[in-house]
A and B are shown apart, each in its own frame.
Chain A
């Protein structure tokens, strides 16, 4: 992967000047490359990775295994994108194995998520079944640890 892209994906907020210093490119070139990636869709967007348990201890995350009937035209694509459009849905993946779509849904309460599954998701014609599992705890999110218990200490001077 491009060094700059890797930094953008992994690093905390950095100014163009900081990024430029780290990859050793002039700042204009960094801005130009980022602009190009945003335009061609390599960079889809930016967001903060939130610690949900601090933000909203009642937040419920459900991972739903959905079996669907594929369509003759377009296979799973149309139905997957239909599900993805609901704003409760955070991610949708087409999977190999015992079910077809993996749908990640977030809600402010168990009731809210249950209502979404019962009234929106499972009522879609092509949906054959839903198996809903709830998140109990998070240890790592998008490459970032929830609890960083690792302290790396060095002596202040060493030969």
Chain B
């Protein structure tokens, strides 16, 4: 007898997982396959968690999260994204954005409802939609369009069963952002077709070249139909803390809260205290890290250009997503051969959906020294292949 549910059986293992096992078994690998900052959490934030422990902050908090943290989130979101939420009933503190996505989907989907999202995309979207009983409907985005999601493409994909549009800009793995003009058209479309929007804006603090991040939640008429997901992981180098938040109209947050209170109860108390410190006083640390990412991005973009790898200049997050299709490899073959011959780990684009075929994801959240070294090795690899 099959002991697993049919949905779980149906979900493939993450492509990243297999690759991880191989990289793990090798020595002296330079990994550009890591989707998290290479900075340890700034000390003042860590110290805030230690202080919270010293004061005995070890009990449950309110299901929604500490009132002070919710206030800090309301203030932060209003400053950064230009939309105000009531900390009493429109903000929920979650265990990372990953929990937020799961809650949001489970709260709004009925079996068979379709969810539109752009691809290549973060690895969890399709499986999380399936687990929530929905049907994943990816919309491919293309290098030629700088991986922008066009409202026209969404419109074509809409069916009577479409309930939700899931957005992630800046995008992991492409580093794409969405121009405000396109965002406005998408908002109109969502209103016309009565779609809910779940927007994962975890990389919103990491945009470069003075490009401002715009949230769809801040556009006119959208707050009522948007669940905005964000957290401290990427901006403040706090990935392992697992602390995120969801903002939205009170009925949707209320629905998510029902699941959260039974499944999770609350995010860890002392970590919520540290998140207050991050949101209220983390700006200078963030700025320093962002400046470093920007320098590294310029470097990796220059190197990709020198090596003749077509790419879209990344405007956000900390990834570049060059094409390797012209070399006659599949993404996986390229990543495997590069790993075995030159000990550089990149993630095959197919880990981020079928439309990632022909690409590799290269994270530049790594020291300049390692980036230099890694790209020299990639250059050697390409050179040896030619001769």
Which residues on A are within 8 Å of B, measured CB to CB?
21-24, 150, 152, 154-159
Q: Are A158 and B372 in contact (CB under 8 A)?
A: no
Q: How far is the CA of A157 from the CA of B30 in the complex (A)?
A: 10
Q: List 14 A-B contacts (CB under 8 A).
A: A21-B299, A21-B368, A21-B372, A24-B295, A154-B34, A155-B34, A156-B23, A156-B24, A156-B29, A156-B345, A157-B19, A157-B23, A157-B31, A158-B34
Minimal beta-carbon separation of B292 from chain A (angstroms)? 9
Partner of A157, one of B33, B38, B124, B368: B33
Q: Does B104 contact A (CB under 8 A)?
A: no
Q: How far is the CA of A138 from the CA of B40 in the complex (A)?
A: 23
Q: How far is the CA of A99 from the CA of B14 in the complex (A)?
A: 66
Partner of A159, one of B23, B123, B345: B123
Which residues on B are within 8 Å of A, measured CB to CB?
14, 16, 19-20, 23-24, 29, 31, 33-36, 38, 40, 122-124, 172, 239, 295, 298-299, 345, 347, 351, 368, 372
Q: Number of residue pairs across A and B with beta carbons under 8 Å? A: 49
Q: Are A159 and B35 in contact (CB under 8 A)?
A: yes
Minimal beta-carbon separation of A17 from chain B (angstroms)? 11
Top 6 A-B pairs ranked by shortest CB distance? A157-B20, A157-B33, A152-B40, A156-B23, A159-B123, A156-B31
**Closest residue of A by beta carbon distance from B292:** A22
Q: How far is the CA of A120 from the CA of B370 in the complex (A)?
A: 52
Q: A150-B40, A154-B34 are in contact. Are A159 and B299 (CB under 8 A)?
A: no
**Closest residue of B by beta carbon distance from A23:** B295
Q: How far is the CA of A144 from the CA of B24 in the complex (A)?
A: 32
Q: How far is the CA of A156 from the CA of B298 in the complex (A)?
A: 23
Q: How far is the CA of A152 from the CA of B39 in the complex (A)?
A: 8
Q: Are B368 and A156 in contact (CB under 8 A)?
A: no
Q: How far is the CA of A22 from the CA of B294 in the complex (A)?
A: 11
Partner of B34, one of A21, A22, A150, A156: A156
**Closest residue of A by beta carbon distance from B372:** A21
Q: Residues of A contacting B172 with CB < 8 Å?
A: 159
Q: Are A159 and B38 in contact (CB under 8 A)?
A: no
Q: How far is the CA of A35 from the CA of B234 in the complex (A)?
A: 39
Q: A152-B40, A154-B36 are in contact. Are A159 and B295 (CB under 8 A)?
A: no
Q: How far is the CA of A22 from the CA of B33 in the complex (A)?
A: 22
Q: Residues of B contacting A152 with CB < 8 Å?
A: 38, 40
Q: Residues of B contacting A159 with CB < 8 Å?
A: 14, 16, 35, 122-124, 172, 351
Q: Are B38 and A154 in contact (CB under 8 A)?
A: yes
Q: How far is the CA of A150 from the CA of B345 in the complex (A)?
A: 25
Q: A21-B372, A22-B295 are in contact. Are A158 and B38 (CB under 8 A)?
A: no
Q: Are B298 and A24 in contact (CB under 8 A)?
A: yes
Q: How far is the CA of A29 from the CA of B41 in the complex (A)?
A: 34
By CB atoms of chain B within 10 A, which of A24, A155, A156 has the most?
A156
Q: Residues of A contacting B38 with CB < 8 Å?
A: 152, 154
Q: Residues of B contacting A154 with CB < 8 Å?
A: 34, 36, 38
Q: Residues of A contacting B16 with CB < 8 Å?
A: 157-159
Q: Residues of B contacting A157 with CB < 8 Å?
A: 16, 19-20, 23-24, 31, 33-34, 345, 347
Known pairs A156-B34, A156-B345, A157-B24 / 5 extra A-B pairs, C-beta < 8 Å: A21-B372, A24-B298, A156-B29, A156-B31, A159-B123
Q: How far is the CA of A158 from the CA of B345 in the complex (A)?
A: 11
Q: How far is the CA of A23 from the CA of B292 in the complex (A)?
A: 10
Q: How far is the CA of A126 from the CA of B121 in the complex (A)?
A: 73
Q: Residues of A contacting B239 with CB < 8 Å?
A: 158
Minimal beta-carbon separation of A140 from chain B (angstroms)? 12
Q: How far is the CA of A150 from the CA of B43 in the complex (A)?
A: 11
Minimal beta-carbon separation of A22 from chain B (angstroms)? 6
**Closest residue of B by beta carbon distance from A152:** B40
Q: Residues of A contacting B368 with CB < 8 Å?
A: 21-22
Q: How far is the CA of A159 from the CA of B24 in the complex (A)?
A: 15
Minimal beta-carbon separation of B99 from chain A (angstroms)? 15
Q: Residues of A contacting B298 with CB < 8 Å?
A: 24
**Closest residue of B by beta carbon distance from A22:** B368
Q: Residues of B contacting A150 with CB < 8 Å?
A: 40
Q: Residues of B contacting A156 with CB < 8 Å?
A: 20, 23-24, 29, 31, 33-34, 345
Minimal beta-carbon separation of A58 from chain B (angstroms)? 33
Q: Are B295 and A158 in contact (CB under 8 A)?
A: no
**Closest residue of B by beta carbon distance from A151:** B40
Minimal beta-carbon separation of B287 from chain A (angstroms)? 13
Q: Residues of B contacting A22 with CB < 8 Å?
A: 295, 368
Q: Residues of A contacting B35 with CB < 8 Å?
A: 158-159
